[in-house]
Structure 1
Amino acid sequence: MTLTTEGLTKTFGGVRAVSGANVAIKEGRVNGLIGPNGSGKTTFFNLVTGLIRPDSGRVLHQGRDITGWSPHRIAHAGLGRTFQLCRIFPRMSVLDNMLVAVRRTRLRELLAGTRATAEVERARHWLHRMGIDHLETAEARHLSYGQQKLLELAAVFMGDPGLVLLDEPAGGVNPALIDRISALVRDLNAEGRTFLVVEHNMDMVMNMCDHVIVFDRGAPISEGTPQAVQADPRVLEAYLGV
């Protein structure tokens, strides 16, 4: 398993957002993480990627305990992530957004006009993969929201992560772009990268993912193939109360 959690727990104001979660992400797969609103999915993401610290439990990546590591250190260890709302530098060019995502490229160097040739080439490669290489000189704020999503995803790959966590990649984008993102994820998975995707768009999850974990009340209640979890009475009860 590329990523596992053991008894992961986080409480906010007396409410357990994540409650003793034991999760195993299957390596080499496109894993989906679904559940009703408030089931703890994004909190789980934030715990795994170091944005918040758990009250108890552990996060293991490739067998190494990364609990409590900083987000920067976790990213450097091979875990990349996107956010529900794009995190980009709106007044920087698309290309500079890519370069500042690289640990070795400092913002001060970019402002001084210093760019490493190898990093520029890698940035252009990923912009091309996302289909937005023609926008490299544009300020990121002038991109459409869908293009900003693609830019954020491209920037994640500048760190060469083996595991990529996508937080609602379909949120706020049109159906054509949803299909495009799904195809990109499947292609990148075929090249050896593992994904964990939080998403409310069930059509996207069922078509893109080959292993699905269902959260309710801060912990997994079901997992398996998309077909298996769709037929699980516990999942129907969590979503529909039936």
Structure 2
Amino acid sequence: MLEIKGLTKTFSGFTAVDNASLIVKKGDIHGVIGPNGAGKSTLFNLITGHLIADTGEVRLHDKRLTGLAPHAVVRRGLGRSFQRISVFPRMTVWENVQIALVAKDQQEFCFWKPLVSQNEQIARLLETVRLEDEAQVVAGELSYGRQKQLELALALAGEPHVLLLDEPTAGMSPRETEDSILLITRIVKDRGVTLLFTEHDMNMVFGIANRITVLHHGAVIASDSPDAVRENSSVQEVYLGRPTH
């Protein structure tokens, strides 16, 4: 489904991503973990076109994404959410999703003249992320967890084949984290979306992922099943803090 080959990115001599390669198969829930500064967000920015790689390539359905602008990557079937919430805080929840649909279909935007089919899509998306009761609430007035749900709706509006979530539960309370995990796994299952995500909450990662890739200093040091990653001596030493001898 998604193939990353030899991606490298340096900033003023510092190598943020170092010849990273990984494969995400159709239907995977694939977690990317690593210590702070391991290169996880930089890797996501390279995959989605927000940064240009020094070397390497990204392919979706065996078609090259490398070099495309972020909006073109989205239209190829790759959706994304960010570490920092990226919504329109002064617009309503409904209007936020409407804008995402307009962008997907490359239409002219018009608040006062929405299409009937568009209204139906917005309603379905809000129901999917459990925000139907907050449709007319200004996005900036939502709780942090609710804004994350709205951002998920914006990503889903592009009808992605692969969804990238960058720390989807960061900053959430334990209850919000639990609700978010249940919501994400349900959406992935119901929509048949392939998921690639980064996360610091190891309980979440090992609880929902069927495959995990570990980054250290920008390089992939392991990419395997959760059980195999948990037992990997290199991972234990550099990430989980367990000495190998």
The residue number in structure 2 matching 1:199 is 199
Distance 1:46 1:159 in 2: 18
Distance 2:106 2:9 in 1: 34
Distance 2:234 2:177 in 1: 28
Summarize the Cα distance change of 1:152–1:107 in structure 2 as closer, same or farther, 3 Å threshold.
farther
The residue number in structure 1 matching 2:24 is 25
The residue number in structure 1 matching 2:34 is 35
The residue number in structure 1 matching 2:54 is 55
* Structure 1 residue 107, shift from structure 2 partner: 7.0
Contact in 1 for aligned 2:49/2:70 (Cα 8 Å)? yes
* Structure 1 residue 229, shift from structure 2 partner: 0.6
Which residue type is aligned with residue 198 of structure 1? T
Contact in 2 for aligned 1:29/1:189 (Cα 8 Å)? no
Structure 1 SS opposite 2:110: helix
Distance 2:61 2:162 in 1: 10
Which residue type is aligned with residue 146 of structure 2? Q
Which deviates further from its counterpart, 178-187 or 222-231? 178-187
The residue number in structure 1 matching 2:229 is 229
Summarize the Cα distance change of 1:42–1:167 in structure 2 as closer, same or farther, 3 Å threshold.
same
The residue number in structure 2 matching 1:109 is 110
Contact in 1 for aligned 2:48/2:73 (Cα 8 Å)? yes
TM-score of the superposed pair, with normalisation by structure 1: 0.95
Which deviates further from its counterpart, 178-187 or 29-38? 178-187
Contact in 2 for aligned 1:211/1:226 (Cα 8 Å)? yes
Which residue type is aligned with residue 109 of structure 1? C
Confirm or deny that 1:188 pairs with 2:187: yes
Q: Count matched residues.
A: 239
The residue number in structure 2 matching 1:219 is 219
Which deviates further from its counterpart, 121-130 or 137-146? 121-130
* Structure 1 residue 105, shift from structure 2 partner: 6.3
* Structure 1 residue 213, shift from structure 2 partner: 0.6
Deviation track 1:56-114 (CA, whole Å, cap 9, x = no partner) reads 1111111011101000000011100000011000111100000101223657423xx12
**Poorly superposed stretches of 4+, deviation over 6 Å:** none
Q: How does 1:38-187 map to 2 (within 5 A)?
A: 38-102=37-101, 103=103, 104=105, 108-110=109-111, 113-187=112-186
Distance 1:117 1:169 in 2: 31
* Structure 1 residue 177, shift from structure 2 partner: 2.0
Contact in 2 for aligned 1:100/1:107 (Cα 8 Å)? no
Which residue type is aligned with residue 224 of structure 2? G
Summarize the Cα distance change of 1:148–1:105 in structure 2 as closer, same or farther, 3 Å threshold.
farther
Contact in 2 for aligned 1:8/1:18 (Cα 8 Å)? yes
Q: Structure 2 regions of 5+ residues with no counterpart?
A: none
Contact in 1 for aligned 2:22/2:223 (Cα 8 Å)? no
TM-score of the superposed pair, with normalisation by structure 2: 0.94
Distance 1:214 1:133 in 2: 37
The residue number in structure 2 matching 1:3 is 2
* Structure 1 residue 37, shift from structure 2 partner: 0.7
* Structure 1 residue 184, shift from structure 2 partner: 2.1
Which residue type is aligned with residue 217 of structure 2? R
Which residue type is aligned with residue 73 of structure 1? A
Which deviates further from its counterpart, 120-129 or 36-45? 120-129
Distance 2:130 2:187 in 1: 14
Which residue type is aligned with residue 33 of structure 1? V
